[in-house]
Chain A
Amino acid sequence: MVQVHQLSYTVKGKKLLDNVSFDVHSGQHLSILGANGAGKSTLLKLLSKDLVTAEGSIKIAGKEISTYSLQDLSKFRSVLSQQNTIALSFTVYEIVLMGRYPHFEQQPTANDLAVVKSVMDETGIMEFSDRYYHTLSGGEQQRVQLARVIAQIYDQPKAVLLLDEPTTGLDLLYQQQILLLARSLADRGFCVISILHDINFASRYSDNILLLKQGKTVAFGAPVEVITCSHIHEAFNVQVTLMEGEHFKCPMIVPSGILN
């Protein structure tokens, strides 16, 4: 669904991304990991067409991203950004309905309203429907934003969902809820790409992991292949110990407390 081939991006002579390649199919969840400044956000901005003029190619559903207009993309690809402040006092319902904006002109159709309702149910925000967005807690706001971006592509067969640090600043329960939701969307056929910071969560809930360091790929593949002591040390400069999970087959790490 999303194919990235030898992608590089340079700003003022500095290579923020250097020859990155990977594939994500429909039904898969790819997590992008890396230290601060590794190029994760740059990569996501290129994938969402916030940034253009890169070397290499990004193909979505077999076509170069440059051949899509913003409107074309907005119909089947949605993006959850990191910063989400809302200027005016909108209610939760109004914000989720905005997710359907690319699909209707002036008045929402019955389908749009049905989508909004199911998404609000699934994300568990129905109870705040009439509350003002700015009166919600950080975790609740994040779920509203997630509901909005899911509503945008909910009824599309080949949808792409890009999440930029969807769990940052949230407590353990909300992190788990959001990643479970991302997982279930992927299981339903979405192509989900998210930037994460928690290596264990990434390992637990994604099909593939892309590990970046200073714009270059350290490793790309299934969690078992990517999450190894040497890869983590290379990417983050932190010594870790690998643990075996009792009930699941994904690698878990614990920092060993030794510097370098």
Chain B
Amino acid sequence: MALSVCIGAVKISAGELRSILAYRMHLSDDVGFSRQQEAVLFGLRLPRVVLAVLVGASLAISGAAMQGLFRNPLAEPGLIGISSGASLFAVLVIVLELKFLTAAFGYYGLAIAAFVGACLTTFLVYRVAVVGGRASIATLLLVGIAINALAGSFTGLLTYTANDAQLRNITFWTLGSLGGASWKTVLSILPFVLISLSCLPWMAKRLNALALGESQAGHMGIHVNMLKRIVVILATLGVGASVAVSGVIGFIGLVVPHILRMAISADNRLVIPGSALLGATVLVLADLISRTLVAPAELPVGIVTALIGSPIFIYIILRERMIKA
């Protein structure tokens, strides 16, 4: 994290960082740094790193919980429509240039629309999948795929009608970026991410039992339907808020829990909290790469995570095949 705070278009050395912190904490009156460095650190770098921590942690922890819920190591939060719904609404705002949203919420109109989109889509997926008070996981998966495709087609339609400036905007948003970080964005997603991060680890034991099967979990005293509902809501809160401020950042939710499962154990009591930590670390590093590789310009961080993530994902699939063969 310290590394990420210091490296960038404006360089800050370790000594200068120490000096800035000491000055700010009134430990020292020496000014061994420039005003510009201080402004960059507190106004840009620090909120960006904190945002990366929050977004990375909530994407990864929701991924871990989703994999437990779907009883499938290849599941990810996007499966139930969170990301595609957010994208659709974001693109809707960009292309139709909905003035009333920007008028009401200013810069955050887009984020709020994306969050609402994420929640609405997930709710729709869940409602359609519920039959007689029970949501079967297989149906949830199929409905998720269908709604994702539907949202994708609308997004495509809107993209098709967009002009050049809007297209750039859309591309940037769908590839994900932490470029919009400020203390305000951090504060606005903090409550949602914190709820998700603090509650999901409590579901770990129940998700372990669910790995044995739905009726088996029921025999162990677990209300499986309630568990499904809670996990879906918590994941939607965390991921929806993250996607709203950073766009779609792929592969963190899929790959991070997987690495932990391979490295330590499949026990969700370790995988779920561990995913939050590792997800935060991975996204901070990926963001560091994304803004230094072609500095002073920026690569969308989604490209970096996908570049690192896809080969790992293919490796995982091959490994699964070897085990099952």
Q: Are B71 and A88 in contact (CB under 8 A)?
A: yes
Contact string, B194-206, partner A, CB cutoff 8 A, digits 1/0? 0000000000010
On chain A, the residues within 8 Å of B218 by CB distance are: 49-50, 70
Please tell me if B303 contacts chain A, counting CB pairs below 8 Å: no
Given A81-B213, A101-B209, A134-B323, do A94 and B265 touch, yes or no (CB 8 Å)? yes
**A84 partner, pick from B212, B222, B261, beta carbons under 8 A:** B212
**B220 partner, pick from A69, A91, A98, A106, beta carbons under 8 A:** A98
Chain A min CB distance to B26 (Å): 41
Number of A-B contacts (CB under 8 A): 81
Count A interface residues, CB 8 Å.
35
Q: Is the interface of A mostly helix, strand, loop or mixed?
A: mixed
Cβ-closest chain A residue relative to B72: A87
Measured CA separation A99–B218 after assembly (Å): 12
**A95 partner, pick from B67, B212, B261, beta carbons under 8 A:** B212
On chain A, the residues within 8 Å of B71 by CB distance are: 87-88
Please tell me if B312 contacts chain A, counting CB pairs below 8 Å: no
Q: Are A91 and B212 in contact (CB under 8 A)?
A: no
Q: Are A90 and B220 in contact (CB under 8 A)?
A: no
Q: Are A98 and B209 in contact (CB under 8 A)?
A: yes
Chain A residues 64-82 with CB under 8 Å of chain B are: 69-75, 77-79, 81
Q: Are A71 and B221 in contact (CB under 8 A)?
A: yes
**A85 partner, pick from B213, B265, B323, beta carbons under 8 A:** B213
Q: Are A87 and B209 in contact (CB under 8 A)?
A: no
Measured CA separation A84–B214 after assembly (Å): 10
Contact string, A42-80, partner B, CB cutoff 8 A, digits 1/0? 000000111000000000000000000111111101110
Measured CA separation A152–B209 after assembly (Å): 12
On chain A, the residues within 8 Å of B67 by CB distance are: 88
Q: Are A106 and B219 in contact (CB under 8 A)?
A: no
On chain B, the residues within 8 Å of A50 by CB distance are: 215, 218-219
Q: Are B209 and A88 in contact (CB under 8 A)?
A: no
Please tell me if B211 contacts chain A, counting CB pairs below 8 Å: yes
Given A85-B213, A87-B72, A89-B266, do A70 and B208 touch, yes or no (CB 8 Å)? no
Measured CA separation A49–B205 after assembly (Å): 22
Cβ-closest chain A residue relative to B205: A101
On chain B, the residues within 8 Å of A78 by CB distance are: 219-220
Q: Are B208 and A98 in contact (CB under 8 A)?
A: yes
On chain B, the residues within 8 Å of A134 by CB distance are: 323-324
Please tell me if B81 contacts chain A, counting CB pairs below 8 Å: no
Cβ-closest chain A residue relative to B269: A106
On chain B, the residues within 8 Å of A77 by CB distance are: 219
Chain B min CB distance to A50 (Å): 6
On chain B, the residues within 8 Å of A152 by CB distance are: 220
Given contacts A81-B216, A85-B213, A89-B323, 7 further A-B contacts (CB under 8 A): A48-B219, A70-B222, A84-B213, A86-B211, A87-B71, A90-B266, A106-B205
